[in-house]
Amino acid sequence: MEHGSHSDQSKSTFSLADEDHTFANSIRFTLNQDPRVTFCGYSIPHPSDNRVNIRVQTTGDPAREVLKDACQDLMLICQHVRGTFDKAVSDFKKSNTMESDDSE
């Protein structure tokens, strides 16, 4: 899963199975935003294999921890998106039902 060296934990490549651009591009975005990261990128070795290689190089922290933190950040972003979206939909529905009541 992780291809790196035991001596230098700050640089390694993570090979994820059953993933594609959907997840890899989003995690690349959150990794880029982390100030500890000096380099991050992803590649798909072959389009027929469902596999993604994510490369992370950091300023000293172990790459595994940084990737885990990025996944956590992405989860928090998704939860916030979901909450905001649900609230916006319920506000819209409420304002619409109020309008139809007024018109009646």
Partner 1 sequence: MSSSSKDESMSEMEEQENQKKENGVLDYIMSLESVPTKLPPHLELLRTRVLCNNDAPQHTDTIQYSGAYAALGVDNSLRLDNFSQNFKVEVKRLTDDDMEFDMIGIDPSLANAFRRILIAEVPTMAIERVYIANNTSLIQDEVLSHRLGLIPISADPRLFEYPDNAGDDRNEKNTIVFKLHVGCRKGQPRITVRSNELKWLPNGSELIAEDAKPSASSKPKTFTSFACSQESVPEISSNPIGPKYSDIILAKLGPGQEIELEAHAIKGIGRTHAKWSPVATAWYRMLPEVVLLENIEDELADELKEKCPVGVFDIEDIGKGRRRATVARPRDCTLCRECIRGGKDWEDRISLRRVKDHFIFTIESTGALPPEVLFTEAVKILEDKCERVITELS
Nearer to partner 1, 8 or 87 (CB): 87
Nearer to partner 1, 25 or 43 (CB): 25
Nearest residue to 55 (alpha-carbon basis) of 20, 12, 3 = 12
Q: How far is the CB of 81 from partner 1 (least distance, A)?
A: 6
Sign, Cα dihedral of 10, 11, 17, 20: positive
Contact 67, 53 (CB under 8 A): no
Nearest residue to 9 (alpha-carbon basis) of 61, 66, 71 = 61
Contact 70, 31 (CB under 8 A): yes
- Residue ranges binding partner 1 (CB under 8 A): 1-2, 14, 16, 19, 21-23, 25-30, 32-35, 37, 64, 67-68, 71-82, 84-89, 91-93, 96
Nearer to partner 1, 61 or 73 (CB): 73
Q: How far is the CB of 23 from partner 1 (least distance, A)?
A: 5
